Protein backbone atom coordinates (compact mmCIF):
# COMPACT_ATOMS: atom_id res chain seq x y z
CA UNK A 1 0.00 0.00 0.00
CA UNK A 2 2.80 2.37 1.01
CA UNK A 3 4.54 1.71 -2.31
CA UNK A 4 1.34 2.48 -4.26
CA UNK A 5 0.93 5.82 -2.45
CA UNK A 6 4.56 6.70 -3.21
CA UNK A 7 4.07 5.94 -6.91
CA UNK A 8 0.87 8.06 -7.06
CA UNK A 9 2.67 10.99 -5.36
CA UNK A 10 5.59 10.69 -7.76
CA UNK A 11 3.27 10.69 -10.79
CA UNK A 12 1.43 13.76 -9.45
CA UNK A 13 4.73 15.62 -8.90
CA UNK A 14 5.94 14.83 -12.43
CA UNK A 15 2.59 15.91 -13.95
CA UNK A 16 2.70 19.18 -11.98
CA UNK A 17 6.24 19.90 -13.21
CA UNK A 18 5.29 19.19 -16.85
CA UNK A 19 2.14 21.35 -16.70
CA UNK A 20 4.04 24.17 -14.98
CA UNK A 21 6.81 24.05 -17.57
CA UNK A 22 4.26 24.25 -20.38
CA UNK A 23 2.71 27.30 -18.76
CA UNK A 24 6.18 28.84 -18.37
CA UNK A 25 5.78 29.00 -14.59
CA UNK A 26 9.16 27.42 -13.93
CA UNK A 27 11.02 29.88 -16.11
CA UNK A 28 12.78 32.80 -14.60
CA UNK A 29 10.09 35.50 -14.68
CA UNK A 30 12.67 38.26 -15.27
CA UNK A 31 15.29 38.65 -17.97
CA UNK A 32 18.46 40.54 -17.30
CA UNK A 33 17.02 43.63 -18.96
CA UNK A 34 14.04 43.72 -16.67
CA UNK A 35 11.36 42.31 -18.97
CA UNK A 36 9.46 39.09 -18.37
CA UNK A 37 9.96 36.24 -20.80
CA UNK A 38 7.77 36.86 -23.86
CA UNK A 39 6.75 40.25 -22.48
CA UNK A 40 4.65 42.06 -25.10
CA UNK A 41 5.71 45.39 -23.58
CA UNK A 42 9.37 44.86 -24.42
CA UNK A 43 10.29 47.39 -27.14
CA UNK A 44 10.39 45.87 -30.61
CA UNK A 45 13.54 46.05 -32.77
CA UNK A 46 13.80 48.98 -35.16
CA UNK A 47 12.42 48.09 -38.56
CA UNK A 48 14.90 48.35 -41.42
CA UNK A 49 14.71 47.04 -44.97
CA UNK A 50 17.21 44.38 -45.96
CA UNK A 51 18.86 44.66 -49.36
CA UNK A 52 17.41 42.80 -52.34
CA UNK A 53 20.30 40.36 -51.96
CA UNK A 54 22.54 39.58 -49.00
CA UNK A 55 25.38 41.65 -50.46
CA UNK A 56 23.20 44.71 -51.13
CA UNK A 57 23.16 47.50 -48.54
CA UNK A 58 20.21 47.45 -46.12
CA UNK A 59 18.22 50.64 -45.57
CA UNK A 60 20.22 51.74 -42.51
CA UNK A 61 23.65 51.25 -44.13
CA UNK A 62 26.00 54.03 -45.16
CA UNK A 63 27.10 53.26 -48.70
CA UNK A 64 30.80 54.05 -48.99
CA UNK A 65 31.26 53.00 -52.60
CA UNK A 66 28.59 52.08 -55.15
CA UNK A 67 30.78 51.61 -58.21
CA UNK A 68 30.49 55.21 -59.42
CA UNK A 69 31.16 57.66 -56.64
CA UNK A 70 34.41 57.93 -54.64
CA UNK A 71 33.35 61.10 -52.79
CA UNK A 72 33.17 59.28 -49.43
CA UNK A 73 36.94 58.66 -49.64
CA UNK A 74 40.10 60.71 -49.70
CA UNK A 75 43.65 59.93 -50.58
CA UNK A 76 46.06 60.78 -47.79
CA UNK A 77 49.25 61.57 -49.69
CA UNK A 78 49.30 65.03 -51.28
CA UNK A 79 52.67 64.17 -52.79
CA UNK A 80 51.18 61.15 -54.59
CA UNK A 81 48.23 63.20 -55.82
CA UNK A 82 50.57 65.81 -57.30
CA UNK A 83 52.47 63.00 -59.00
CA UNK A 84 49.10 61.78 -60.39
CA UNK A 85 49.40 58.53 -58.49
CA UNK A 86 45.81 58.26 -57.47
CA UNK A 87 43.07 55.87 -56.53
CA UNK A 88 40.64 55.75 -59.44
CA UNK A 89 37.54 53.95 -60.63
CA UNK A 90 38.13 51.27 -63.24
CA UNK A 91 35.08 49.31 -64.47
CA UNK A 92 33.09 50.10 -61.33
CA UNK A 93 35.86 49.29 -58.85
CA UNK A 94 38.32 51.42 -56.87
CA UNK A 95 41.94 50.67 -57.66
CA UNK A 96 45.22 52.31 -56.62
CA UNK A 97 47.89 53.44 -59.02
CA UNK A 98 51.19 52.16 -57.65
CA UNK A 99 52.45 54.71 -55.14
CA UNK A 100 49.02 56.22 -54.46
CA UNK A 101 49.27 55.44 -50.77
CA UNK A 102 46.44 54.90 -48.34
CA UNK A 103 42.81 55.68 -49.15
CA UNK A 104 40.60 56.55 -46.22
CA UNK A 105 36.94 57.28 -45.55
CA UNK A 106 36.02 60.88 -44.86
CA UNK A 107 33.77 59.70 -42.06
CA UNK A 108 35.25 58.02 -39.01
CA UNK A 109 33.80 54.77 -37.72
CA UNK A 110 34.12 52.75 -34.52
CA UNK A 111 32.15 49.57 -33.92
CA UNK A 112 30.51 48.49 -37.15
CA UNK A 113 29.27 45.89 -39.58
CA UNK A 114 31.24 46.28 -42.80
CA UNK A 115 30.66 44.70 -46.19
CA UNK A 116 33.44 45.02 -48.73
CA UNK A 117 34.30 43.16 -51.92
CA UNK A 118 37.76 42.80 -53.44
CA UNK A 119 39.61 41.00 -56.15
CA UNK A 120 43.27 40.52 -56.91
CA UNK A 121 44.74 41.81 -60.20
CA UNK A 122 44.04 40.09 -63.49
CA UNK A 123 47.73 39.74 -64.24
CA UNK A 124 49.21 37.35 -61.68
CA UNK A 125 52.61 38.73 -60.77
CA UNK A 126 54.76 38.65 -57.65
CA UNK A 127 55.03 36.10 -54.91
CA UNK A 128 54.14 35.87 -51.25
CA UNK A 129 53.21 39.26 -49.84
CA UNK A 130 53.89 40.81 -53.23
CA UNK A 131 50.91 39.23 -55.00
CA UNK A 132 47.62 41.10 -54.88
CA UNK A 133 48.40 42.60 -51.50
CA UNK A 134 46.10 45.17 -49.96
CA UNK A 135 44.26 45.40 -46.69
CA UNK A 136 41.21 46.76 -44.93
CA UNK A 137 42.20 48.63 -41.79
CA UNK A 138 39.52 49.05 -39.15
CA UNK A 139 39.99 52.47 -37.57
CA UNK A 140 43.13 52.81 -39.67
CA UNK A 141 45.00 50.57 -37.19
CA UNK A 142 43.82 46.98 -37.43
CA UNK A 143 44.43 45.24 -40.74
CA UNK A 144 42.29 42.51 -42.22
CA UNK A 145 44.66 41.22 -44.89
CA UNK A 146 43.86 41.08 -48.60
CA UNK A 147 46.16 38.87 -50.68
CA UNK A 148 46.12 36.39 -53.54
CA UNK A 149 45.89 33.12 -51.59
CA UNK A 150 44.08 30.94 -54.09
CA UNK A 151 44.67 27.23 -53.53
CA UNK A 152 44.17 24.97 -56.56
CA UNK A 153 42.63 22.09 -54.62
CA UNK A 154 42.42 20.84 -51.06
CA UNK A 155 45.71 19.36 -49.92
CA UNK A 156 47.87 21.30 -52.33
CA UNK A 157 50.25 23.90 -51.13
CA UNK A 158 48.95 27.40 -51.66
CA UNK A 159 49.60 28.62 -55.12
CA UNK A 160 51.17 31.61 -53.44
CA UNK A 161 52.82 30.43 -50.21
CA UNK A 162 53.22 32.95 -47.43
CA UNK A 163 53.17 32.97 -43.65
CA UNK A 164 49.81 31.97 -42.14
CA UNK A 165 49.30 35.18 -40.20
CA UNK A 166 49.78 37.17 -43.39
CA UNK A 167 47.50 35.36 -45.79
CA UNK A 168 44.14 36.67 -46.93
CA UNK A 169 41.65 36.86 -44.09
CA UNK A 170 44.30 37.06 -41.41
CA UNK A 171 44.39 39.78 -38.82
CA UNK A 172 47.80 40.69 -40.16
CA UNK A 173 50.66 39.49 -38.01
CA UNK A 174 48.31 38.21 -35.33
CA UNK A 175 45.79 35.58 -36.32
CA UNK A 176 45.53 33.36 -39.41
CA UNK A 177 42.02 32.78 -40.78
CA UNK A 178 40.26 29.65 -39.50
CA UNK A 179 40.25 28.25 -43.05
CA UNK A 180 41.45 29.37 -46.47
CA UNK A 181 38.19 30.25 -48.24
CA UNK A 182 39.82 32.21 -51.06
CA UNK A 183 38.53 32.23 -54.59
CA UNK A 184 40.73 32.17 -57.64
CA UNK A 185 42.85 34.98 -59.02
CA UNK A 186 40.83 38.00 -60.16
CA UNK A 187 37.53 36.56 -58.88
CA UNK A 188 35.43 38.84 -56.72
CA UNK A 189 35.46 37.95 -53.01
CA UNK A 190 33.63 39.40 -50.06
CA UNK A 191 34.37 40.19 -46.45
CA UNK A 192 31.53 40.71 -44.01
CA UNK A 193 33.04 42.06 -40.84
CA UNK A 194 31.68 42.61 -37.34
CA UNK A 195 34.13 44.86 -35.56
CA UNK A 196 33.95 46.22 -32.04
CA UNK A 197 36.34 49.01 -31.25
CA UNK A 198 38.77 48.91 -28.34
CA UNK A 199 37.85 50.85 -25.24
CA UNK A 200 40.58 52.67 -23.38
CA UNK A 201 40.95 53.85 -19.81
CA UNK A 202 41.58 57.54 -19.18
CA UNK A 203 45.33 56.89 -18.94
CA UNK A 204 45.29 55.31 -22.41
CA UNK A 205 45.64 51.73 -21.23
CA UNK A 206 43.30 49.15 -22.77
CA UNK A 207 40.10 48.55 -20.86
CA UNK A 208 38.57 46.28 -23.49
CA UNK A 209 40.32 44.93 -26.58
CA UNK A 210 38.83 45.28 -30.04
CA UNK A 211 37.17 42.18 -31.46
CA UNK A 212 36.64 41.06 -35.03
CA UNK A 213 34.45 38.46 -36.70
CA UNK A 214 34.86 37.93 -40.44
CA UNK A 215 32.88 35.95 -42.98
CA UNK A 216 34.71 35.56 -46.29
CA UNK A 217 32.67 34.44 -49.28
CA UNK A 218 30.00 33.13 -46.86
CA UNK A 219 32.52 31.25 -44.67
CA UNK A 220 33.44 32.13 -41.07
CA UNK A 221 37.18 32.85 -41.00
CA UNK A 222 37.59 34.97 -37.85
CA UNK A 223 35.41 34.17 -34.84
CA UNK A 224 35.19 37.08 -32.41
CA UNK A 225 38.99 37.33 -32.24
CA UNK A 226 40.37 39.71 -29.64
CA UNK A 227 42.75 41.94 -31.55
CA UNK A 228 46.15 42.20 -29.90
CA UNK A 229 46.87 45.75 -30.99
CA UNK A 230 47.85 47.94 -33.93
CA UNK A 231 49.04 46.12 -37.04
CA UNK A 232 52.81 45.96 -37.22
CA UNK A 233 55.30 44.36 -39.57
CA UNK A 234 57.77 41.94 -37.94
CA UNK A 235 56.91 43.41 -34.57
CA UNK A 236 54.51 42.20 -31.93
CA UNK A 237 51.17 43.99 -32.16
CA UNK A 238 50.48 46.52 -29.43
CA UNK A 239 47.78 49.09 -28.80
CA UNK A 240 48.65 52.73 -29.05
CA UNK A 241 48.13 54.76 -25.90
CA UNK A 242 44.47 55.27 -26.60
CA UNK A 243 42.83 56.76 -29.67
CA UNK A 244 39.54 58.33 -30.73
CA UNK A 245 36.29 56.36 -30.47
CA UNK A 246 35.88 56.66 -34.23
CA UNK A 247 38.53 56.78 -36.94
CA UNK A 248 38.48 56.37 -40.74
CA UNK A 249 38.48 52.96 -42.40
CA UNK A 250 41.56 52.79 -44.61
CA UNK A 251 42.51 50.73 -47.66
CA UNK A 252 46.12 49.84 -48.23
CA UNK A 253 48.17 50.50 -51.34
CA UNK A 254 50.80 47.79 -51.27
CA UNK A 255 51.93 48.33 -54.86
CA UNK A 256 49.39 45.96 -56.41
CA UNK A 257 46.30 47.13 -58.33
CA UNK A 258 43.89 45.14 -56.14
CA UNK A 259 40.30 46.35 -56.59
CA UNK A 260 37.42 47.13 -54.23
CA UNK A 261 33.69 47.52 -54.83
CA UNK A 262 30.29 47.42 -53.10
CA UNK A 263 31.35 48.83 -49.75
CA UNK A 264 28.81 49.64 -47.08
CA UNK A 265 28.81 49.96 -43.33
CA UNK A 266 26.35 49.90 -40.45
CA UNK A 267 27.41 51.55 -37.24
CA UNK A 268 27.02 49.40 -34.12
CA UNK A 269 26.67 50.29 -30.47
CA UNK A 270 29.73 49.59 -28.36
MG1 LIG B 1 48.15 44.08 -46.66
User: What Å distances lie between residue 156 and 150, 159, 181, CA to CA?
Assistant: 11, 8, 14
Report the separation in Å between the CA atom of 230 and the middle of ligand 1, taken as the mean of its atom positions. 13
Residue by residue, what is the 3-state secondary structure of 91-152? Answer: CCEEEECCCCCCEEEEEEECCEEEEEEEECCCCCCCCHHHCCCEEEEECCCEEEEECCCCCC
Structure confidence at residue 267 (pLDDT): 98
How many whole angstroms from 145 Cα to the centroid of ligand 1?
5
pLDDT tens for each residue of 42-74:
999 999 999 999 999 999 999 999 999 999 999
At residue 15, does pLDDT exceed 70? no
Residues with CB under 5 A from ligand 1 (ion): 133, 135, 252
pLDDT band for 25, please (50, 70, 90 cuts): very low
pLDDT at 231 over 70: yes
% of the chain at pLDDT higher than 70: 86
Ligand 1 centroid to Cα of residue 171, in Å, is 10
Q: Give all domains of the chain, ordered by start, each with its CATH number.
A: 1-43 (no CATH), 62-267 (2.60.120.560)
Q: How far is the CA of 157 from the centre of ligand 1 (A)?
A: 21
The kind and range of the H/E element at 13 are helix 2-23
Of the given ranges (17-26, 54-63, 219-228), which has the lowest mean pLDDT?
Answer: 17-26
Name the pTM for this structure. 0.87
- Residue-averaged pLDDT of the chain: 90
pLDDT digits (tens, 9 = 90+) for 79-119: 898 898 999 999 999 999 989 999 999 999 999 999 999 99
Centre of ligand 1 to C-alpha 202, Å, is 31
Q: Which of 139-148, 149-158, 192-201 has the lowest mean pLDDT?
A: 149-158
pLDDT tens per residue across span 154-196: 666 557 889 999 999 999 999 999 999 999 999 999 999 999 9
Amino acid sequence: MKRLVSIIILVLVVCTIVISAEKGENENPLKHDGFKVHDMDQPKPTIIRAGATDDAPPSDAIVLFDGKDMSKWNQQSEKAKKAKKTWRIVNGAMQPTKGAGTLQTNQPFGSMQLHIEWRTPERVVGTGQGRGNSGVFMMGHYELQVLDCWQKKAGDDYDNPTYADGQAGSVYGQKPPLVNACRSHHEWQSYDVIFHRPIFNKDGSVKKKATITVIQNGVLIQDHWEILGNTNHKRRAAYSKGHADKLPITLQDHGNPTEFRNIWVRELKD
